[in-house]
Amino acid sequence: MFKAILVDKNADVYQASVTELDEAQLPEGDVCVRVAYSTLNYKDGLAISGSSPVVRRFPMVPGIDLAGTVESSNHSAYKPGDRVLLNGWGVGEGHWGGLAQKARLNGDWLIPLPEGLSERQAMAIGTAGYTAMLCLMALERHGLTPERGEVLVTGANGGVGSFAIALLARKGYSVVAATGRLAQAEYLKRLGASTIIDRAELSSPGRALAKERWAAAIDSVGSHTLANVCAGIRADGLVTACGLAQGMDFPATVAPFILRGISLLGINSVTRSYKERVEAWDRLCKGLDLAQLDEITQEVGLSEAILAAHELLDGKVRGRVVVDVNR
């Protein structure tokens, strides 16, 4: 038996609870992992609360991230005792995820836990830090350098935003952080932001083309915010879109694209190739000051994760939430 958060839906009643499950109930997979830590991401909050139809199959164990140790394996790349981690691949949506003490998974979804990184550190980074690194990699593939000018980060107090600021600053970029929690300005500056702006400057309907302000941006918000970000990017600038905290809509015009030649780069963190995942995690290990993880992270036990998920959706959580599934 093992403990897990289980979400279920009977008629119109949606419920999430911590329960005990039998290993025989685990879904199909060729690697069984004893989970040490998981995380709470925005998508996990939606899955636990039922506020958006994230879960595609019931009952479901949420948790799109996990790190732990292989217990048994029929996959050629892994053997018992190997430390592994997972991000994405529909886990926590269509396949039981990481907010449990055990998981059975497709070994192709896993990568080895990088040397020198603990399970807790990996989950402090989680999909949020991994996505931020994918954004940085995409920007640099398209020619961004610190000399090009300031880089805007929206949703700055969130997980992706916090890591984006830290990664950019460590690479020498001048970072502008947009946040709705100006009281957290000192936190953002400690991460490396040089300028703080109120997200209200970007969150309402704006002009099709605004004053040129930033060389590039990492946006995890979507909707009017993303439209205004694009409108304010300098000629030939770059924007990565990786989230939808404000909404899935994109109420923009083609003006920034055809008059300034900007590029909008979509970031899919769910189904990247093995090579890309390993590269991103290798760069995270080298590009982050791991001592900053305690600044970015708070820890809860499995029994506290449901409440924390609701607080995350309510915008009451700064940075990252790591879940110790064994307490």
* Residue 11: predicted pLDDT: 76
What pLDDT was estimated at residue 292?
86
Does 196 map to a domain?
A: yes
In this structure, the answer to whether residues 139 and 260 fall within a common structural domain is yes
275 lies in a domain? no
Low-confidence ranges of the chain (pLDDT < 50): none
Contact 203, 226 (CB under 8 A): no
CB 21 within 8 A of CB 6: yes
Q: Are 15 and 298 in contact (CB under 8 A)?
A: no
Which amino acid makes up residue 287? G
Task: Return the amino acid letter for 243.
Answer: G
Other Cβ atoms less than 10 A from the Cβ of 325: the count is 26
- Per-residue pLDDT at 192: 96
pLDDT per residue as tens digits for the range 157-187? 988 999 999 999 999 999 999 999 899 899 9
Cβ atoms within 10 A of the Cβ of 320, count? 26
Distance CA 227, CA 252 (A): 5
Same domain, 149 and 244: yes
> Which positions ≥6 away from 309 have C-beta within 8 Å?
16, 40, 44, 45, 48, 49
Are 107 and 19 within one domain? yes
- List, in order, residues 6 or more apart from 34 with CB less than 8 Å away: 68, 69, 70, 71, 101, 102
In the prediction, which pLDDT does 295 show?
84
The tokens of 199 are what? 């997200």
Question: How high is the pLDDT of residue 123?
Answer: 97
The answer to whether residue 161 sits within a structural domain is: yes
Q: Are 230 and 239 within 8 A, CB to CB?
A: yes
- CA-based nearest residue to 269, from 258, 261, 280, 283: 280
90: which residues sit within 8 A by CB, 6+ positions away? 56, 270
- Residues spanned by the domain of 217: 126-266
Quick check: is 281 in a domain? no
pLDDT tens, residue by residue, 128-141:
999 999 999 999 99
Question: What is the CATH number for 87?
Answer: 3.90.180.10
| CB contact at 8 A, 155 and 42 | no
CATH number at residue 207: 3.40.50.720
Q: Which of 126, 196, 136, 214 is nearest to 170 (CA)?
A: 136
The answer to whether the CB of 133 falls within 8 A of the CB of 162 is: no
Q: For residue 118, is it within any domain?
A: no
Residues 132 and 179 placed together within one structural domain of the fold: yes
Q: What is the rounded CA–CA span in Å between residue 188 and residue 164?
A: 11
The pLDDT of residue 231: 98
Q: Is residue 237 part of a domain?
A: yes
Q: Is position 120 within any domain?
A: no
- Angle, vertex CA 67, rays to CA 167 and CA 305, nearest 5: 90
Question: What values do phi and psi take at 240, rounded to 5?
Answer: -105, 135
How many domains does the chain contain in total? 2
